[in-house]
Homo-oligomer: A and B are copies of this chain.
Amino acid sequence: MAEHFDPVQSANESARESARSLINSARFGTIATLDENGYPFASLITFALDRKQTPFLYVSRLSAHTKHLLADPRCSLLVGDPGKGDPLAHPRITIQCSATVLDPASDEIIILRTIFLARHPKAALYIDFPDFLYIRLTMIEASLNGGFGKAYRLKPHDLR
């Protein structure tokens, strides 16, 4: 197979629907960040979607990924439940994002707090901890993998 063959297709309506469904149904995902040496780091996070369907985190400053995002906003979020059987047969999406740490004093935080608690009731245990931050993940581009041979590239407008 030629080195320059690109197996990734442009998004169609079915890919867009699949991507939106994955993001809307997920409560958690894996975030890839860059550590202080520029080394990639994968960790589990929970997230919710704001009113514009943009994912956001509510995370402790003590978590490795929070420290990384405070130093470098580049990150990537993988969502999709590998479920039962062959994990590679299930759809998943990698969303490359830029992280923005939100001002704890902004009006918006009250809304995000309500959304996050509704999505993650267990977060009531730590929802007002002073060392936690809200971080918005603005999508740059995404790769949907719908199973073998079904790879699609999506742009922000595909997920609206």
Chain A contact residues, CB within 8 Å of chain B: 1, 5, 7, 27-28, 30-34, 38-44, 46, 61-62, 64, 74-78, 80, 82, 85-89, 92, 94, 96, 120, 122, 126, 131, 143, 145, 148
Kindly report which residue of chain B lies nearest to residue A125, judged by CB atoms: B148
Q: Which of B44, B76, B80 contacts A44 (CB 8 A)?
A: B80
Q: Which of B1, B30, B38 contacts A62 (CB 8 A)?
A: B1
Q: Which of B40, B64, B74, B88 contacts A46 (CB 8 A)?
A: B88
23 contacts between A and B (CB under 8 A): A1-B62, A5-B62, A27-B87, A28-B87, A30-B78, A32-B42, A32-B76, A38-B38, A40-B41, A40-B74, A40-B76, A41-B94, A41-B96, A42-B42, A42-B76, A42-B78, A43-B145, A44-B88, A44-B92, A64-B94, A64-B143, A88-B122, A89-B122
Contact A40 B44 (CB under 8 A): no
Contact A30 B42 (CB under 8 A): yes
Contact B122 A86 (CB under 8 A): yes
